[in-house]
Amino acid sequence: MSVLASRTDGLAIISTAWETKADMHASVVKIRPIREKTAEAIGGGTAELEEWQIAAMHRRQHAGHPVCARVIWLRLETAGIDDLVSEFNTATLPALDATRGFCSTSLMINPDWRRAAVSIAYESTEAMDRRINGAEGRRLLESNVIQVREFDEVMPHLRVPDLASY
């Protein structure tokens, strides 16, 4: 499980990863009361459930403990999903890896909504404020941006193997 929280408006993103889609769907009945109780505890709002596919994930070796994250939501064309994943792995990941204070990143996709989300964790807010090195690394992150939000890393423990292949 991983938890991101915004100090400014109380929005929290709680992520879990499952080995199979069947396992995830089988957990819905058991998890629903926990999700509702958590939503009530952190502000009384309603919990929204979204399913995303992990397309890429990378943790920098010997990185510090992540304290904050930037999440970037992107529009995408269904036909361009493979290109997006390829560009993320070949251009964005190396650019992020070269950024001082970078800890980890993940690219998630929801093909039904034609959306992608990039989460980038840093070891400090100063590191998060640094620009990504290299124009090719910024190209993906600057095109088709819907929203950019910054969060505190409350619980950075999503147990997914590193999927980087660059």
Q: Which residues contact 92 (CB under 8 A, 6 or more apart)?
A: 105, 118, 132, 137, 140, 141
User: Which pair of tokens denotes residue 95?
Assistant: 């650019």
Taking CA atoms, 129 is separated from 21, 67, 123, 144, in Å, by 36, 13, 11, 21
Is the confidence at residue 165, as pLDDT, over 50? no
In the chain, what are the helix, strand and coil shares in percent, each to the nearest 5?
A: 30, 30, 35
Does a structural domain hold residue 163? no
- Gap between the Cα atoms of 52 and 50, Å rounded: 7
Q: Total structural domains in the chain?
A: 1
- Gap between the Cα atoms of 136 and 11, Å rounded: 31
Beta bridge partners of 156: 2
Does a structural domain hold residue 116? yes
Higher pLDDT, 98 or 48: 98
Write down the pLDDT at residue 108: 93
Torsion of CA 63, 75, 51, 46, to 10 degrees: 100
Does a structural domain hold residue 164? no
Q: What CATH number corresponds to the domain at position 7?
A: 3.30.70.100
The number of helix segments (H) and strand segments (E) in the chain equals: 6, 7
Write down the pLDDT at residue 160: 52
Does a structural domain hold residue 92? yes
- Gap between the Cα atoms of 130 and 157, Å rounded: 24
Task: Check: pTM over 0.95? Answer yes or no.
Answer: no
Does a structural domain hold residue 52? yes
pLDDT tens digits along 134-155: 444 455 556 688 999 999 888 7
> What is the mean pLDDT of the segment spanning 97-112?
90
Does a structural domain hold residue 96? yes
Domain that holds residue 84: 2-156
